């Protein structure tokens, strides 16, 4: 049975897939249909932060499967209630959660909540500020705040109410607030898909002082940076402020589909019965797993380890930069790291794959992107960089 051929025949080609048919995962390794073993430095796009075949996750999912797969949101369930309590306790006192199925839906919901709050306050003719090279998802609303035109073409998403400026550009930020009535700002604190661009402290401080003056709703997209990825449970913790809304997805379910947004108490009346909803949102299996994920990842020792291993990873990237003239600017935080490559990133990723290492790419095919499961250790890093060096020597 040729799985690649069947897939190419029957599945709409929206992805340029790596030529691998994956069959199972164990810890930080993935195995293909022929039993070949791959070290995973990508976690299924920053999703499997606790790796694969994790005992506690398996137990939570299997226990829940035996009890109840699904309940509509016309009912209460324990896993959903416990997860909501945990999320609020770890984010904003007296905040509220909405559960959905994916990151892009979390962004849609967050935008709806912000817009409806402003509507109820009688705010009109305001603008939304978003950033060039951002990525917030593929639905029409999320695309309208995604600052990469290549994703818009042909979809009629251009929205004159959304303004894009350069990320990390303080002067443009000040200028745009002088000219425009901005009431919603959405950003990632590290642009993942856009090229692993870390928001500078300076830039965020400027944004926060403008917020004091101008009073807008600040949405931080933590879909990729959240759940321990940066070495903190949420990326915003590193900048010493509280957003008004955060969006979550990806690693929250470690592979089980779930998204969420959490908003501050003052916004809670924005969405009431009938204004928003989801059939599958807060699915009991995904929520049971997410409870385990949060319990594991929010432990201080776990996050300390991520920060420690991150230093070693970054040292290795710096070594690569000095060894290979086509690599430059290693960057990132925790285990969301990248390095610019002058040879096409996809070609490097394919060569790495031939050496049994899975890495990602970002930006305009010019960034090697590393987002391994957060459980990697020193030995895995040594192994991964040996494989990567072998691949890079081919260029």
Contact residues for ligand PLP, defined by CB under 6 A: 45, 102-104, 107, 135-137, 188, 192-193, 221, 223-224, 249-250
Q: Which of residues 107 and 392 has its CB atom nearest to ligand PLP in the complex?
A: 107
Q: Which of residues 45 and 88 has its CB atom nearest to ligand PLP in the complex?
A: 45
Residue 278 zone, left/alpha/beta (φ > 0; ψ -120 to 50; rest): beta
- Per the CB < 8 A criterion, the answer to whether 256 and 286 are in contact is yes
* Shortest distance, position 122 Cβ to ligand PLP, whole Å: 30
Torsion of CA 248, 254, 255, 261, to 10 degrees: -10
Nearest to 124 by CA among 135, 137, 115, 133: 115
Nearest to 385 by CA among 297, 301, 318: 318
* Shortest distance, position 148 Cβ to ligand PLP, whole Å: 12
* Shortest distance, position 154 Cβ to ligand PLP, whole Å: 20
Q: Which of residues 147 and 192 has its CB atom nearest to ligand PLP in the complex?
A: 192
* Shortest distance, position 222 Cβ to ligand PLP, whole Å: 8
* Shortest distance, position 219 Cβ to ligand PLP, whole Å: 11
| Nearest residue to ligand PLP on Cβ basis | 103
* Shortest distance, position 47 Cβ to ligand PLP, whole Å: 8
Residues in the chain, how many?
395
d(CA 180, CA 326): 41
Paired residues of 217 in beta bridges: 184
Do the bridges between strand 217-221 and strand 182-187 make them parallel or antiparallel, or are there none, so unpaired? parallel
For 45, half-sphere exposure in the C-beta direction (CA atoms, 13 angstrom radius) is 11
Which sign does the torsion angle of CA 353, 355, 359, 362 carry?
negative
Q: Which of residues 237 and 321 has its CB atom nearest to ligand PLP in the complex?
A: 237
* Shortest distance, position 42 Cβ to ligand PLP, whole Å: 12
Q: Which of residues 61 and 223 has its CB atom nearest to ligand PLP in the complex?
A: 223
Q: Which of residues 13 and 124 has its CB atom nearest to ligand PLP in the complex?
A: 13
Q: Which of residues 104 and 355 has its CB atom nearest to ligand PLP in the complex?
A: 104
- Per the CB < 8 A criterion, the answer to whether 9 and 2 are in contact is no
């Amino acid at each position: 049975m040729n799985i690649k051929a069947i897939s190419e025949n029957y599945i709409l080609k929206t992805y340029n897939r790596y030529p691998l048919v994956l069959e199972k995962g164990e810890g930080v390794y993935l195995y293909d249909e022929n039993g070949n073993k791959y070290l995973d430095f990508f976690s299924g796009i920053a999703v499997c932060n606790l790796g694969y075949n994790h005992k506690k996750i398996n137990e939570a999912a299997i226990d829940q499967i035996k009890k109840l797969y699904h309940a509509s949101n016309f009912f209460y369930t324990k896993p959903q209630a416990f997860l909501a309590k945990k999320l609020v306790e770890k984010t904003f006192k007296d905040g509220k959660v909405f559960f959905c199925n994916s990151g892009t839906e979390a962004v849609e919901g967050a935008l709806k909540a912000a817009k409806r709050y402003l509507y109820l306050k009688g705010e009109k003719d305001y603008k939304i500020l978003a950033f060039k090279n951002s990525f917030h998802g593929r639905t029409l609303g999320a695309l309208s705040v995604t600052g990469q035109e290549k994703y818009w073409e042909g979809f009629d998403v251009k929205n004159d109410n959304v303004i894009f400026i350069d990320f990390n550009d303080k002067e443009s930020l000040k200028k745009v607030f002088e000219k425009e009535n901005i009431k919603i700002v959405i950003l990632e604190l590290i642009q993942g898909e856009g090229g692993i661009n870390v928001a500078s402290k300076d830039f965020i401080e400027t944004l926060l002082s403008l917020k004091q003056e101008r009073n807008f709703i600040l949405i931080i997209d933590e879909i990729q940076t959240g759940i321990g990825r940066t070495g903190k449970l949420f990326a915003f913790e590193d900048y010493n402020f509280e957003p008004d809304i955060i969006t979550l997805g990806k690693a929250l379910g470690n592979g089980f589909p779930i998204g969420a947004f959490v908003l501050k108490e003052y916004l809670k009346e924005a969405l009431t019965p009938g204004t928003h909803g989801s059939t599958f949102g807060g699915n009991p299996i995904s929520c049971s797993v997410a409870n385990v994920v949060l319990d594991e990842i929010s432990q201080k020792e776990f996050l300390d380890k991520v920060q420690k291993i991150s230093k070693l990873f970054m040292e290795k990237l710096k070594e690569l930069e000095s060894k290979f003239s086509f690599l430059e600017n290693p960057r990132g935080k925790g285990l969301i790291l990248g390095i610019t490559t002058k040879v096409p990133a996809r070609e490097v990723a394919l060569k790495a794959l031939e050496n049994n290492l899975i890495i990602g790419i970002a930006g305009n095919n010019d960034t090697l992107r590393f987002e391994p499961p957060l459980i990697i250790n020193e030995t895995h890093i040594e192994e991964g960089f040996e494989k990567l060096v072998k691949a890079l020597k081919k260029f």
